[in-house]
Structure 1
Amino acid sequence: MTVTEVPSVTGGPASGCPFRPAGPDLVDPRLYSHGDAPRLWRELRALDHLHWQQVDADRGFWSVVHYREADEVLRDTDTYTSERGTLLDLLGTDDPAGGQQLAVTDPPLHTARQARLKRALTSKAVGRQREQIRSLVVELLEPLGDGGVFDFATAMMAMPMWVTGTMMALPRTDWEWLTRVTTMCIAADDPEFQEPGGRAATLSTAHLELFGYFQDLIRHRSENLGQDLLSALMSTRFEGRLMSPGEVVSNCYSLLLGANVTTPHAPTFVMAEFVDSDVLTDWAAHPELNESGYAEALRWASPVNHVMRYATRDTVLHGTPVAAGDAVVVWLGAVNRDERVFADPERFDIRRRPNKHLSFGIGPHYCVGHSVARASLGLLFEELLSRYQDFSAAGRPERLISNFASGYKHVPITARHRR
């Protein structure tokens, strides 16, 4: 069944659309691990109206798949709020962190709370830690050249915790555990990361463990404040007060998830899908293209698959009436392949300029850690391509099962050290 055959594509709360479960299920995480999401998104972009999906008798959402409308939704915080929740997992249920966690707080409060963190994460500030990040990347990649099979995806999923863990001064002995627990939060449907009891039990366990971990760490750190990101959060003042421990914990959670979703999957997509092509050889021969190369990797992977907003008032979007209270989901993977913005969008091009991808979002909620992500990716590709050659697939890549994080969980490869 194609999108245009789905009877509910023009329906929504405003039109009294009945519950029709037939048709493409954009909530299903297996669409992104085993299905053909790019084809579906092309069909949705061909419509002259928004697509409505009725999830059950009480819940549904509009899908945004065009760049212009995504830009509008993500910039206009007066019309589209993040405070009720930004993930489909919470569709129809107000996020308990609304108004406390940066990701689910609207301006002007969001702006005030974000200011100190943004100063700690400026390009200049990250630049001072550039060589430390480089050393972590080199250490992480070192096993690649020993002649055996190297799981590139596993290494890349560890990388953001190595970097963020260092910047937050988290104990190194905790990094591996934190990588797994944060992955449980973003891929609770994946059997490899799922706890006994299923998806709900996995999320509950992961959240309890992460929040408990940071509560304990904050109690210890309160007497040992330093120059790290956690100390910056703990010492940030707004409205004449420090953030409460609960607010600090919530924002630590948000920072870790943001890092663990965005950073690893851009390089993993490149290795999974182009390892046996000439892409890596071409890139290695032209190191001056490193910045445009990893920007294209971010566009191609679109690691954050979706973000959600709720309309605060009746409005019209892409010729479609959207009622106050309606959920609106921006599919970043679809937006980043919008033919109206990206020439030949289905072609991976390390020379693509300009490249206005929205993988870091846009507007007030533009990823606060984008400088860290860019530095990490730039150094990763720089070290990877200057130190290693003759990359080859050593098994079948496996996609992460998630409707939020778009990526691979296993990419077995081999390579050799350059001489």
Structure 2
Amino acid sequence: MLDITPSAARCPVAHNLGDLTDPGLYSSGDPHTTWAQLRAHAPVSRRTAADGQPYWSITKYADVDHVLRDHATFTSERGTLLVLLGRDDPAGGRQMAATDPPRHADLREPLQRALAIKQVEAKREQIRAAVLPLITPLGDGGPYDLAERMTRMPMAVIGTLMDLPHADRARLIELTAAAIAPDDPRFARPGGTQAVLKAAHRELFAYFQDLVKGRQKAPGDDLVSLLLRMELDGRRLTLGEIVANCYSLLLGASVTMAQVPVTALDELMGTPTLDDWAGDSSALATGVEEALRWSSPTNHFMRYATRDVELRGQRIGAGDPVVVWLGSANRDEEVFPDPFTFDIRRRPNKHIAFGIGPHYCVGHTVARVSLRVVMAELFSRFTEFAPAGPGRRLHSNIINGWESLPITARNRLKRAPVAY
């Protein structure tokens, strides 16, 4: 079902648009066709989810930017993802992602300091050591599941920086996957999506509570210990604040880092663009930024209007849910020339794959450094990347990404210099 504004009703294609809340649209459909039509004909439109819940859909870059920046008008505290549409987030005001400024800044600031670019760059060799075991098997000659391996990559990186026990990491990968793709059939359980989310969140928070308590007794040189030592307004962080920061960092890294290399290689394998990127170290950083724009791993964020507000002539009422589509904003023709061209040297590139405003991804430095390491090492060691069978996309309206993508590659006869 589709409930649209009068402006959308005049659009001859509006009634044929797909349901943007349907996870199947992202696993087997084409959301970009729908987003392009909405940008052109109904950039701010009232739509109805499959369960009958109405929401406002925002598809243009300028409007997405506005909604995410204006926290006073569009609050995060009632829920930030469509899985919570129609119900308030019980973590509102307590978890960093579901808290508005100024309280949000109090929760964010310690982790932001810990992840400043100098701090992360100093750990680049640790990140490289965590990445190499994941990519080295690509040279063995047989099919290599890039998506499956990259799913492990965020845990290898963040697990190293947080000093998470290796024995725990496989389970943590499963829990974070369930938290970001709760509609995926492999996580199905009685009670549906909400039961999957509740169980994943409960186990993750319990895990980090135990981890932090243990780290209090035996601190080390890691991010969790750093959070334990930090002070905020003259006091040490509470257990709940540290646990919330650990959770946010783990999920944020899992969303962005895993999907970007997979989506980029899926798009570029067999094209001159990939060879060009691999052969030009000066394009490494701009190519990673373009891969972030192109993949836009986080499909959407949700906010709730705190007051009546008008956007592009549409009146959004106080209390209405508002969903912004990052993948749509990052292909907006008014902002990105030739938006459907993967341009490894695109400048400027004001993508919002990490969001924008007060909730800009706190782990963006870790993600950027890690992605540069991954792509540089892949390009240095391998050539002739090619698909080795059909891929399988994630069944999720939260994450734009892959569950499986088998590929092959050849070892370079002479390893190319690595330039990060």
Moved over 4 A (4+): 195-198
The answer as to whether partners of 2:176 and 2:251 remain within 8 angstroms in 1 is yes
The answer as to whether partners of 2:382 and 2:410 remain within 8 angstroms in 1 is yes
* Structure-2 change in CA distance of 1:67 and 1:22 (3 Å): closer
Which residue does 2:115 correspond to in 1?
121
Match of 1:349 among 335, 339, 343: 343
Mapping for residues 174-213 of structure 1, pairs under 5 Å: 174-195=168-189, 198-213=192-207
Mapping for residues 88-107 of structure 1, pairs under 5 Å: 88-107=82-101
> Which sits farther off after the overlay, 74-83 or 269-278?
269-278
The answer as to whether partners of 2:93 and 2:99 remain within 8 angstroms in 1 is yes
* 2:328 is equivalent to residue 334 of structure 1: yes
Tell me the amino acid that sits aligned with residue 370 of structure 2. S
* 2:213 is equivalent to residue 219 of structure 1: yes
Separation in 2 of the partners of 1:289 and 1:353?
11
Q: What is the CA-CA distance between 1:195 and the residue it aligns to?
A: 4.6
Tell me the amino acid that sits aligned with residue 3 of structure 2. S
- Aligned-partner SS, 2:217: coil
Which residue does 2:300 correspond to in 1?
306
Separation in 1 of the partners of 2:142 and 2:40?
46
Separation in 2 of the partners of 1:173 and 1:151?
22
Which residue does 1:8 correspond to in 2?
3
* 2:392 is equivalent to residue 363 of structure 1: no
Separation in 1 of the partners of 2:135 and 2:50?
46
The answer as to whether partners of 2:48 and 2:54 remain within 8 angstroms in 1 is yes
Q: What is the CA-CA distance between 1:197 and the residue it aligns to?
A: 6.2
- Aligned-partner SS, 1:356: coil
> Which sits farther off after the overlay, 234-243 or 256-265?
234-243
* Structure-2 change in CA distance of 1:414 and 1:56 (3 Å): closer
The answer as to whether partners of 1:48 and 1:319 remain within 8 angstroms in 2 is no
- Aligned-partner SS, 2:315: strand
Separation in 1 of the partners of 2:243 and 2:6?
40
Separation in 1 of the partners of 2:161 and 2:135?
20
Aligned residues between the structures: 406
Match of 1:394 among 356, 377, 388: 388
1:52-85 deviation per Cα after TM superposition (whole angstroms, max 9, x unaligned): 1123787321111111111111111111111111
- Aligned-partner SS, 1:308: strand
Tell me the amino acid that sits aligned with residue 355 of structure 2. G
* Structure-2 change in CA distance of 1:196 and 1:90 (3 Å): closer
* Structure-2 change in CA distance of 1:56 and 1:412 (3 Å): closer
1:351-392 deviation per Cα after TM superposition (whole angstroms, max 9, x unaligned): 111111000111111111110000000111100001101111
> Which sits farther off after the overlay, 373-382 or 84-93?
84-93
Q: What is the CA-CA distance between 1:241 and the residue it aligns to?
A: 4.3
Separation in 1 of the partners of 2:160 and 2:60?
37
1:332-352 deviation per Cα after TM superposition (whole angstroms, max 9, x unaligned): 000000000000111111111
1:120-167 deviation per Cα after TM superposition (whole angstroms, max 9, x unaligned): 101100011011111212221111101111100011111011111111
Separation in 1 of the partners of 2:46 and 2:84?
17
Which residue does 2:47 correspond to in 1?
53
Mapping for residues 131-146 of structure 1, pairs under 5 Å: 131-146=125-140
Match of 1:318 among 312, 315, 322: 312
Match of 1:62 among 53, 56, 62: 56
Match of 1:265 among 259, 269, 274: 259
Separation in 2 of the partners of 1:291 and 1:144?
23
Unpaired segments ≥5 residues, structure 1? 1-5, 13-20
The answer as to whether partners of 1:81 and 1:106 remain within 8 angstroms in 2 is yes
The answer as to whether partners of 2:309 and 2:317 remain within 8 angstroms in 1 is yes
Q: What is the CA-CA distance between 1:287 and the residue it aligns to?
A: 1.5
Separation in 2 of the partners of 1:283 and 1:200?
42
CA RMSD, Structure 1 to Structure 2 (Å): 2.0
Which residue does 2:418 correspond to in 1?
none
Unpaired segments ≥5 residues, structure 2? 8-14, 414-420
The answer as to whether partners of 2:308 and 2:318 remain within 8 angstroms in 1 is yes
- Aligned-partner SS, 1:358: coil
TM-score by length of 1: 0.92
1:165-222 deviation per Cα after TM superposition (whole angstroms, max 9, x unaligned): 1111111221222111100111121123445664343223322221221121122112
Q: What is the CA-CA distance between 1:279 and the residue it aligns to?
A: 2.6
Which residue does 1:41 correspond to in 2?
35
* Structure-2 change in CA distance of 1:7 and 1:408 (3 Å): closer
- Aligned-partner SS, 2:171: helix
